[in-house]
A = this chain, B = another copy of it.
Amino acid sequence: MAATIRDVARAAGVSPSTVSRALASSELVNPVTRERVQQAAVRLGYRPNRAARGLITGRTGNLGLIVPDLANPFFPSIVKGIQARARQLDYAVFLADSDEDATAEPGLVRALAKQVDGMVLCSPRMSETDLLAVSDETTLVLVNRRVGALPALTLDNAGGMRQAIAHMQALRHVRVAWVGGPRDSWSNRERRRALRAATATAGMDLVDIGNFAPRYEGGVAAADLVAAAGVTAVIAYNDLMALGVLSRLRARGIAVPDQISVVGTDDIPLSGMASPALTTVALPKEAAGRQSVDLLMSVLHEGDDAAPARRELPTQLLVRDSTGVAPPQP
């Protein structure tokens, strides 16, 4: 059906090898011939079969991407960034959504491994063991997680939490609740740890409400526990949960931020639209996507003899309307 390199060769009156060289624009071919070949190629609408090329070059021109849940607005932003950068570099992107099922992820990696030059794993829930096991099936780059010596692009979770706590302290909050996300999530542990340290330094109390699903419903479920915890402020693992908390507190007639201040993490698009608009630790999501691709490329080109590829992006507290001065304590 579609034109192959042979068709072009025939049309241009040369051999397939010459076509290949002419289109790779290597200087090994006579300019006149090259011109003729190129014209024949466009005339026939020839596009090289990347699979066949990959077979011999070993490079597919594809990359894989695994996210736990595309319905969480955090991920589409990252995917967009990855997608955009990959397109610039003429890479195509395989996307897989594991639906928050950690046990499915190794299978997804393996299924894609042969068809890609490398993969970006976004906050995989996979165990470290599984992760290291699949890491030699293909080149991996981790986003928002750090395991062993694997290349990783992280976000400054700790810095974000410190900013949030500094903000709380400035607003004279003393007792703060933490609404955790999935227990086995790396960034969840990271944020919790940073929060522990920051509150201790600031002489504040941190009340750990527990772990909840990283979704709106999880926040709703946590809200009543927050209300009962005797805190004047709450920090949630992510914005979806913070919005859930917000909604439930409102439903119960608890004023935000007058009675309780709420802080999220991620800065998903909805956060600014909520009322009150959510104060949140903004993560550079699209940038993270783009840079994870760049990181992957650098690992791919340098080989594995280079230093462990790591990059960390800064985070920034975005103060909006859901935080305010702590109410006077009884």
Residues of A with Cβ closer than 8 Å to B?
2, 47, 49-52, 54-55, 60, 62, 65, 70-71, 73, 75-77, 79-80, 83-84, 87, 92-97, 99, 108, 110-115, 137, 216, 243-244, 247, 250, 269-270, 273-275
Contact = CB atoms under 8 A, between A and B. Distances in A.
A94 B50 CA distance: 14
Nearest to A244: B273
Contact of A83 (B83, B97, B274): B97
Contacts of A99: 80, 84
Contact of A54 (B51, B108, B216): B51
Nearest to A112: B92
A269 B216 contact: yes
A122 B223 CA distance: 37
Given A80-B71, A97-B79, A115 B273 contact: no
State the oligomeric state as a number of copies: 2
A51 B55 contact: yes
Given A47-B114, A55-B52, A273-B243, A87 B80 contact: no
A71 B269 contact: yes
A70 B96 contact: no
A235 to B, nearest CB: 19
B76 A71 contact: yes
Contacts of A95: 65, 79, 83, 93-95
Contacts of A113: 2, 47
Given A51-B51, A83-B95, 5 more contacts: A79-B95, A80-B99, A84-B97, A94-B94, A270-B273
Contacts of A73: 73, 76
B96 A93 contact: yes
Contacts of A112: 92
Contacts of A243: 273
A194 to B, nearest CB: 28
A50 B114 CA distance: 7
Contacts of A250: 275
Contacts of A70: 76, 79-80, 83
Nearest to A246: B273
Contacts of A96: 83, 87, 92-93
B97 A94 contact: no
A206 B7 CA distance: 58
Nearest to A61: B115
A23 B283 CA distance: 46
27 contacts: A2-B114, A47-B110, A47-B114, A49-B55, A51-B55, A55-B55, A65-B95, A70-B79, A71-B77, A71-B80, A73-B73, A80-B99, A83-B96, A83-B97, A84-B99, A87-B96, A87-B108, A92-B94, A92-B96, A92-B111, A92-B112, A92-B115, A93-B96, A244-B273, A247-B275, A273-B274, A275-B275
